[in-house]
Structure 1
């Protein structure tokens, strides 16, 4: 991948459908998420769709699914198939893997296989959807394996649109996505690069504090239109966290076009914009 030739790197793109016609979530959760984000575009994009979409925009996309079989009972899309399909579009796609933390030693072994055999460049976790407390030391061997592989771990933080508006939120618990749980992980795994995904509403100040305190912690700005960013996040991005925040859209629920149009309207310093749009991602990805 020629990073110099790209305009941007989108750190947060979901693969919602595979080539077998299977979906990443059941229909009720897909519909609830679409309603929450008021998304009208293609809702279940395949790898091929994503590659063409991002190639038109001269933008790289970090692509992944979430393996939440234990948390939701819904069979996950294959991270192996996603990574192998992404390899055919290596000019624009960067594959991340996902493993179910509840799989224990099998998850650790799968992390190593995904990196060694399928070229995965990082891992995605969604503590609320996967129903786990990320600072539980039972999951530490998983983080050790990711750190040993030299790739980052991307964690959903804050509120989620998945389950939003449904009775009991479909049993999905927001507290698992409190970024303070990841402060423990970052402290105990200093060699692990951690990305806190999304403005961490209602824990934005905590996320800023962690990213300021821990050199191995970053924040991606996906999942919210920039016009709704908390003001303290904009201030931090312009100053002390200028090298720690990353462009991410959360496609398909938010498009990179919408995100970047709203980002252009933010009061972000000219010298900071290229850091957020591309250069900070290069550092996280080791590119």
Structure 2
């Protein structure tokens, strides 16, 4: 299939799977440069020389930003026996929270004649609702930019990776207006003139049961460009984001999917 065709199909709900989106997000956003460009001392969001060239100083700045985010993270992750976990009930077919958690761990038995193993049993995480992943976008004189967040997640190998502006899972999405993040309302705008991409796409099916995420690219309010951002947010070009992707374990899977969606043609037709 032509690359443009695959990218166009991203706009069709539940058609292009997570692994394909992640690979598409690893593709360069433009011609691969032979060398890095000069330093742009004016824009603290990241020096660039043209939309597809990333300077050495920009990568150093982004790496330092992520290191600072990791140092601020107070979390420590450890494994615990299931027998020590409180507030969950186990039956013959699932482990479910007594209250407050909209996901379950279910047991499944699978038979598939097209796989290397014909049948097996395994646990799957079953969300109770779709998640949300969104980039706020804006245009600048040098290159379009997306607002990313240095996001802490307990399952990550190094605790912090670059993620979308807004990211909810079934378990972390706000329930009330008071729980909403600073950019949630903007990411969920109903103004069609500001929505560049909006599709519900399936997540990885080997570990999750019918998990889906609504992926959105939304033009930010003009006033946001002049506002001081929280320390864990930063405006990046697609080329800067791709430069972090190729380093490995710097950009989470939702942001890689959105990076692929940035290159999706305007219509699925």
TM-score range, shorter chain: under 0.3
Q: From the two aligned structures, give the one with the greater strand fraction.
A: 2
TM-score, structure 2 as length reference: 0.28
Larger relative contact order (CA 8 Å, sep ≥ 6): 2
Instruction: Say which one has the larger Rg.
Output: 2
